[in-house]
Amino acid sequence: MDKSKKIQLGLLVLVVLLLAINFATGGFKEWFGASEADKIREAAEASTPPAPSPFSAGNIPGTNVNNAETAPPNVPTTTIKYDQTMYDFGVADEGSIVKHVYKFTNTGSEPLIISNAKGSCGCTVPQWPKQPIPPGGRGEIAVEFDTKGKPGRQTKHVTVIANTTPAETHLEITGEVRGKERPVSKGAN
């Protein structure tokens, strides 16, 4: 085989390889436009409702499944009343764990289902009841705030998501974190 035929064959193999890669990655849509089937599929995906919330069938309430922000409209809502929504821990030493329990009552006529509770940062961790709270029943949300690396005035929030109106309620933990004193380096005057 002469040199020009080898070059032509090499170029042909290269073109076929590039076309195969482009086809595998969907690049033909940019060259030739989307097919009608692709357009229909993309339109259907755009109009598909979001994933089901923890309140829908098949999910266990209170297990933080897919972090739904609000209850769907067909779930009965209730109301929640906290004994207090803000806790001032005063002064704590940096590195300590501040703990507080927020008590609440289901003041509505439907079972209260808390689907999620999340802190405003990783240093604030809530624990909430996973079982429904019956009407008139009481429950607790325990919050721990890790002061490590957080000297100064601190205010942290916990967002509680439940089948309440409104779906989100907020708790606050605040106070002063006394920083650790840095040791004086040797030889400094």
Q: What is the pLDDT of residues 7-64, one digit of tens each?
A: 877 777 777 766 666 666 655 445 455 554 454 445 444 443 444 444 433 343 443 3
Name residue, tokens 């920083």.
179
Across the range 154-168, mean pLDDT stands at: 96
How large is the average pLDDT for residues 140-159? 96
| CATH class for the domain made up of 65-178 | mainly beta
Q: What is the mean pLDDT of residues 110-128?
A: 95
What lies within 8 Å, CB to CB, of 47 at 6+ separation is none
Q: Does this model's pTM top 0.85?
A: no
Sequence-ordered strand ranges (E) for 31-182: 80-82, 86-93, 97-106, 114-119, 124-127, 138-146, 152-162, 168-178
Tokens for 121? 């940062």
